[in-house]
Amino acid sequence: MLYVVGMGAGGISTMTREAVSALEDSALIVGYDLYIEMIREYFKDKELYSTPMRGERERCLYAIERAEKGENTAVISSGDSGIYGMASLIYELSADRDVEIRVVAGMTAAVSGAALLGAPIGHDFAVISLSDMLTPFELIEKRLRLAAQADMVIVLYNPASRKRHDYLKKACGIIKQARDINTVCGYVKNIGREGERAVVTDLDALTHTDADMFTTVFIGSSTTKNIKGKMVTPRGY
């Protein structure tokens, strides 16, 4: 069995029971360096295998090969494995392989971050990654523009990095073309980890916010409100 596991923010407390059970059932756990370090203390009796950033194909192929030999193996992703995770790649690489795959859902940052901010995704929302490692920024710009025009909440993953330090500012500039600068927004840093912080703000202030790869950003719609310091998008009941 090859499990593809979404591990939430990384600690046992943010994993589903199904995710923990899948990892306990696996002899080998495979993942990105940082994610393996996050779970190492909880699974000391397991064989652990990791690769750095851009080593996704290598580690997925290794996991597939071990699973083909009859070993229960798990590939982990932060959040949910099907949302910017390894599930799609596992299926692509195993299309012609004899391996049984089970995808185990996890808590993605849009959901866990929303809980910390209040109720920002109570209505329709879009999730867009600002990382241009695999997606041209021209396409990201188009998606931002159209989502902003559609007047739904926008959740931004990977808003900035050392090489993309101004991407959140760029994204806010695009969204401001269709949204008021006083639109209620929020961001959460280090969800489920040390230094966790949730801030409710507005679109103008968000433009000048320092963010990193561990920040998840929420940009409200025209109906989103600040209620007692919480970001709330009414469903309309």
Specify the DSSP class assigned to residue 87.
H
Quick one: 162 exposed, middle or buried, by C-beta within 10 A (0-12, 13-18, 19+)?
A: exposed
Best CA proximity match to 22, nearest among 39, 41, 5: 5
**What's the average model confidence in pLDDT over 178-188?**
98
The 3-class SS string of 3-30 reads EEEECECCCHHHCCHHHHHHHHCCCEEE
Residue 198 pLDDT > 80: yes
Q: What is the pLDDT of residue 184?
A: 98
User: Cα separation of 49 and 59, whole Å?
Assistant: 8
Q: Average pLDDT of the chain?
A: 96
Q: How distant is the alpha carbon of residue 57 from its chain centre?
A: 19
- Alpha carbon distances (Å) from 25 to 2, 46, 105, 158, 211: 10, 10, 16, 31, 37
Residue 79 pLDDT > 90: yes
- Alpha carbon distances (Å) from 19 to 8, 106, 154: 9, 7, 28
Residue 10 pLDDT > 80: no
Residue 28 pLDDT > 90: yes
Confidence tier at 11 by pLDDT (50, 70, 90) = confident
Q: What is the pLDDT of residue 176?
A: 98
Residue 181 pLDDT > 90: yes
Q: What is the pLDDT of residue 54?
A: 87
Q: For the chain, where are the alpha helices, taking DSSP H only? A: 17-24, 33-39, 56-68, 87-93, 109-117, 137-149, 167-175, 203-206
Percent of the chain's residues with pLDDT above 70: 100
**What's the average model confidence in pLDDT over 92-118?**
97
Domains and CATH numbers, the chain: 2-104 (3.40.1010.10), 109-232 (3.30.950.10)
Q: What is the pLDDT of residues 38-72, one digit of tens each?
A: 999 999 999 999 999 889 999 999 999 999 999 99
Which helix (H) or strand (E) covers residue 226, if one does? Answer: strand 225-227
pTM, entire model = 0.94
Confidence tier at 135 by pLDDT (50, 70, 90) = very high
Specify the DSSP class assigned to residue 160.
-
Q: What is the pLDDT of residue 193?
A: 87
* Contact call for residues 28 and 71 (beta carbons, < 8 A): yes
Q: What is the pLDDT of residue 53?
A: 85
Q: What is the rounded (10 degree) CA torsion for 36, 44, 196, 165?
A: -20
